[in-house]
Amino acid sequence: MNRVRNHAVIQNWREGVSARNHKNTLQSVACAGGVTELYSYQQKIGHRTASGVCVVGDFTAPGGQFHSMTTSCHVNGAKVGASLVMHPRVWAASAFRNSEVPF
């Protein structure tokens, strides 16, 4: 797995490639079927579908579910190029919080 800066981890996630930062606080994990997940610490914050749609859960204070300053920075970086940003309650009720996505 590549060790890179945060912005490069997010770029790798968008491209469907595994990567992590030097402290393992931000990770992009390529899974089976072309799906790639983005994690801040152990919290899943992003999901890239096999078709390349990138969805981010808004785990920030303005989003309504603050975890940490670091996670907020990771989420804000991922939101920039995301196809869709979800409210944390919608994220929790969606299939995106797991690896099983209906499309």
pLDDT in tens, 41-71: 999 999 999 999 999 999 988 777 777 899 9
Residue 102, in any domain of the structure? no
Q: Which residue has the higher pLDDT, 2 or 92?
A: 92
For the entire predicted model, the pTM comes to: 0.88
Q: Which domain holds residue 31?
A: 2-97
Cα gap 46→11, rounded to integer Å: 12
The set of residues, in sequence order, having a beta carbon less than 8 Å from that of 16 and lying 6+ positions away, is 30, 34, 36, 48, 52
Residue 67, in any domain of the structure? yes
Average pLDDT, the chain: 88
Name which of 40, 32, 42 is nearest 101 in CA terms. Answer: 32
Q: How many domains, in total, are found in the chain?
A: 1
